[in-house]
């Protein structure tokens, strides 16, 4: 009887052992890894003892009928979640940020199926309907700032990139047609003010659009115009643009934070849905595999995943 009791105690201890994060296993984002990424959105599902982790690798979209939107809806239909982690806003905004909930509730598809807020909208609305707690998956700007300055990047580099990375979103939201659109200057000027405040930088850092445009041209060896491509804000370790090096450093800080956040919620015995851009899942896969083992499903059919991952 004593041996049986000891065995049960040991078994219970093993079952309760905390998952250990493995941020050192995060994959560097390279052109090779980018080329391995599926063309469209996909998802990965892990078993974490009695919980499930579903990571929807979004292809950033504004169409209500896009695969990204369909996968998000299928995730909510096939699984029960306690926690939802979304891209684009900081964890420090707290659970279920009221302003974001209001924005999502007012941002349905227009008559053409266009959703200005992109995949954030079905993610937020689904969490509300599910009764799951919604959290931002981003670190505070101060964390990213400290990381980049420690690596030798300048305040201009950080602020300039924070503004530059908005261009694909502004294009997707139809606020500009391309980076040569005359409307870009006003958007950049507003973003400089907003991000300068968020990063705690003085007004002398990239004081206006001309300074920002000069910073961009010095790094990428070309003027900011219609030739801009989304690849320029990609976190490519071996990218061909100067801005790729900044993006890579920002991405490493973000993904290390996201990895620890996911594992902490799983250790709290919560089932978790993560909706982030597909590159983040490509980066996270080796680290998540190290923590959780091989996924029980990889693909774009979450109805099938719900059966496979019972």
Residues 224 and 299 placed together within one structural domain of the fold: no
Is residue 73, in this structure, part of any structural domain at all? yes
Kindly state whether residues 134 and 27 are assigned to the same domain: yes
265 and 245 both lie in a single domain: no
Task: Let me know if residue 13 belongs to a domain.
Answer: no
Nearest of 132, 172, 102 to residue 274 by alpha carbon: 132
Q: Give me the number of domains the chain comprises.
A: 2
* pLDDT score of 103: 94
User: Which of 195, 206, 203 is closest to 162 using CA atoms?
Assistant: 195
Q: Give strand pairing partners of 275.
A: 56, 86
pLDDT for position 16? 58
DSSP letter, residue 151: T
Residue 6 within any structural domain of the chain? no
Q: 11-15, 67-71, 196-200, 253-257: lowest mean pLDDT where? A: 11-15
Closest by CA to 271, choosing from 49, 5, 134, 81, is 81
Has residue 8 been placed in a domain? no
**Could you tell me if 163 and 188 are in contact, meaning their C-beta atoms sit under 8 angstroms apart?**
yes
Domain that holds residue 123: 21-139+254-308
Cα 115 to Cα 81, 108, 124, 135: the distances in Å are 24, 6, 13, 21
Residue 11, in any domain of the structure: no
Q: Are residues 270 and 131 in the same domain?
A: yes
Residue at 297 is within a domain: yes
On whether residue 300 sits in a domain, the answer given is yes
The rounded distance, in Å, linking the Cα atoms of 262 and 278 is 16
Please report the pLDDT score of residue 209 as a whole number. Answer: 98
Confidence of residue 116 (pLDDT cuts 50, 70, 90): confident
CB of 278 closer than 8 Å to CB of 42:
yes
Q: In the predicted model, is pLDDT for residue 11 greater than 70?
A: no
In a shared domain, residues 281 and 293: yes
Flag whether pLDDT at 3 surpasses 70. no
Inform me whether the pLDDT recorded for 300 exceeds 60: yes
Distance of CA 158 to the CA centre of its chain: 18
Residue that is last in its domain, among 251, 268, 299: 251
Per-residue confidence at 29, pLDDT binned at 50, 70, 90?
very high
* Residue that terminates a domain, selected from 210, 230, 251: 251
Q: How far apart are CA 248 and CA 236, in angstroms?
A: 6
Alpha carbon of 24 to those of 20, 150, 255: distances in Å? Answer: 12, 18, 11
Q: Structure tokens of 236?
A: 């490519």
The upper half-sphere exposure of residue 212, i.e. CA atoms within 13 Å in the direction of its Cβ, equals 25
User: Could you tell me the pTM of the whole model?
Assistant: 0.85
Nearest-angstrom CA–CA distance, 237 and 139: 21
Residue 262 in domain: yes
């Amino acid at each position: 009887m004593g041996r049986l009791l000891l065995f049960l105690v040991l078994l219970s201890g093993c079952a309760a052992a905390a998952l250990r994060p493995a941020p050192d296993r995060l994959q560097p984002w390279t052109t090779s890894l980018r080329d391995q990424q599926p063309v469209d959105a996909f998802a990965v599902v892990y078993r974490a003892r009695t919980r499930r982790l579903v990571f929807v690798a979004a292809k950033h979209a504004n169409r209500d009928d896009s695969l990204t939107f369909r996968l998000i809806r299928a995730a909510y239909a096939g699984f029960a979640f306690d926690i939802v982690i979304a891209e684009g806003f900081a964890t420090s905004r707290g659970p279920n940020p009221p302003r974001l909930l209001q924005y999502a509730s007012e941002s349905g598809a227009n008559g053409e199926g266009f959703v200005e807020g992109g995949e954030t909208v079905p993610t937020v609305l689904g969490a509300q309907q599910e009764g799951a707690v919604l959290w931002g998956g981003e670190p505070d700007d101060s964390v990213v700032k400290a990381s980049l300055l420690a690596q030798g990047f300048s305040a201009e580099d950080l602020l300039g990139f924070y503004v530059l990375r908005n261009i694909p979103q502004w294009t997707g939201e139809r606020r500009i047609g391309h980076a040569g659109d005359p409307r870009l200057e006003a958007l950049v000027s507003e973003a400089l003010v907003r991000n300068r405040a968020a990063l705690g930088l003085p007004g002398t850092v990239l004081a206006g659009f001309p300074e920002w445009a000069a910073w961009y041209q010095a790094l990428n060896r070309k003027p900011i115009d219609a030739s801009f491509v989304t690849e320029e804000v990609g976190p490519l370790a071996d990218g061909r643009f100067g801005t790729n090096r900044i993006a890579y450093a920002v991405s490493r800080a973000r993904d290390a934070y996201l990895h620890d956040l996911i594992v902490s919620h799983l250790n709290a015995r919560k089932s978790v849905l993560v909706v982030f851009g597909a590159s983040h899942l490509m980066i996270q896969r080796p680290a998540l595999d190290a923590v959780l083992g091989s996924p029980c499903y990889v693909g774009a059919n979450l109805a099938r995943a719900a059966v496979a991952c019972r």
